[in-house]
Amino acid sequence: MKQNILYLTNLGQLKSLSDPLRVDILHHLIEKPYSGQQLSQKLDVARSKIHYHLKDLEKNELIYLAGESKKRNMTEKTYRAAAKSFIPSSDIFPVENRYLADSGRLMTLTAIDRTRQRAIEAPEEVFLTESENPENWNQINAQLEVQTTDDKYKKWVKKYHELLKEFNELKDDGEDSKWFYVSTFGFELAQPLFTKNESHSEGTEG
């Protein structure tokens, strides 16, 4: 059964998530079930290679068999991600930082790419606006850089996760309801992009 968060408890799981194709496959399986053949067509990768990576992900309990169906003389298997999010458990430390960094960076970059694709596929009216006030927009598009301490940043992140829980509790499947997508990223920078004391917040609305 799919869960919200899966805590990674062994090095094998981190190694599995250090491969770009496996991470891409996993992100697709977070969204919905796919068979090896469907993933092969979607990602334009040989089916044998897809099945190799599916076996690795299943072995490390990052995905699970969601269903089987008979097609002619063949059995088609569909797979699903074991969770929506994957987080290293404190039990796994200390491990080789290389695997932690590789898996974390790849998961983030792949999520950013999936967000880009969602933006491309979103309705045109989402990006139209008649207001100059971002608070009245129907979409969020902001980039901020703040110089602060680790402690203050972590306290803010805790509040942010509380806000995410609040967002998740807005679920309403009534006749007037629509689907809304939120994707955010935050991490320490080696150096700022914007000029000092400047932040960027820009976008359009529908």
CATH number of this structure's domain 3-116: 1.10.10.10
Domain boundaries, the chain: 3-116, 124-201
Rounded to the nearest angstrom, the gap between the alpha carbon of residue 67 and the centroid of all alpha carbons in its chain is 23
CA distances from 131 to 82, 137, 139, 171, 203 (A): 41, 7, 12, 27, 11
**117 three-class SS:** helix
- The residue ranges of DSSP E strands in the chain, in sequence order, are 3-8, 34-35, 63-71, 74-81, 83-88, 142-143, 200-201
Residue 94: asked if its preceding bond is cis (omega within 30°), the reply is yes
pLDDT at 67: 92
The one-letter amino acid code at 103 reads S
* pLDDT tens, N- to C-terminus, the chain (206 residues): 567 788 888 888 988 998 999 999 999 999 899 999 999 999 999 999 999 999 999 999 999 999 988 877 788 899 999 998 888 776 666 655 667 777 888 888 888 888 888 888 888 888 888 888 888 888 888 888 999 999 999 999 999 999 999 998 999 999 999 999 998 889 989 888 876 655 555 443 33
What residues form DSSP beta bridges with 70? 75
Q: Are 62 and 13 in contact (CB under 8 A)?
A: yes
Q: How far apart are CA 64 and CA 83, in angstroms?
A: 10
How many CB atoms are located within 10 Å of the residue 138 CB? 16
Q: Are 95 and 103 in contact (CB under 8 A)?
A: no
Which residues in 188-205 are b (16+ Cβ under 10 Å) and which e? Answer: eeeeeeeeeeeeeeeeeb
pLDDT at 203: 44
Q: Tokens 């940043």 appear where? A: 153
Indicate whether this model's pTM tops 0.75.
no
pLDDT at 206: 34
pLDDT at 94: 61
